[in-house]
Amino acid sequence: MDEEIQKTTESMDVPEGQTQIDLDDVEVVESKSSFDAKAFEGKKVKIEKVEIARVPDNFATGSYVKETEEMKWVTKVTTEPLKELDEKGNFTDKLMEYEDQETNKKKNITVTQQFNMGESEEGKPTVIKHEKASLWKAMKKLGVTKLSELKGKEVMLDTKPSTDENDDRVFLKLALN
């Protein structure tokens, strides 16, 4: 069998009456996902919720540990639900939704960013006032001195690539640092 025929039949059973397709002629196209994170880059939305939580600290030892009992304090900042964009890139009145695969319920799309916090000797969360502390930098950028003042502040959206080198998706984040 010559090379051209082998390319068209390799791992492909062609039903009778159908023509063979050259594997090199199959086009690679962008996903038709209904959500394009890059379209939201530079858009401004308001912060709707600010929470403090205690979460696993997978980097407590300096390198990633999947299962850990170490915990840390974080501030979770969540935007108001995103609205759909029109063809000109302006927000419409319709909220963007997705179907939660675990609950099969529709949910609004929001952007949540987590900021590490410090911990006092009593074990209470603290905002670290340091030039390299991302939470403090974000608070300074938004002109606030208390976490409660973050709610209602307008923030710009940005994108970041997946941390998985085999994943070419991009995700939304808050442009705060």
Q: Which long-range contacts (CB under 8 A, 24 or more apart) does 86-94 make?
A: 89/39, 91/43
Is the pLDDT reported for residue 3 higher than 70? no
Question: At residue 34, what are phi and psi to the nearest 5 degrees?
Answer: -80, -5
Q: Which residue has the higher pLDDT, 19 or 36?
A: 36
pLDDT of 146: 96
Which has more confidence, 142 or 25? 142
Rounded Cα distance between 68 and 72, Å, is: 11
Domain residue spans of the chain: 34-174
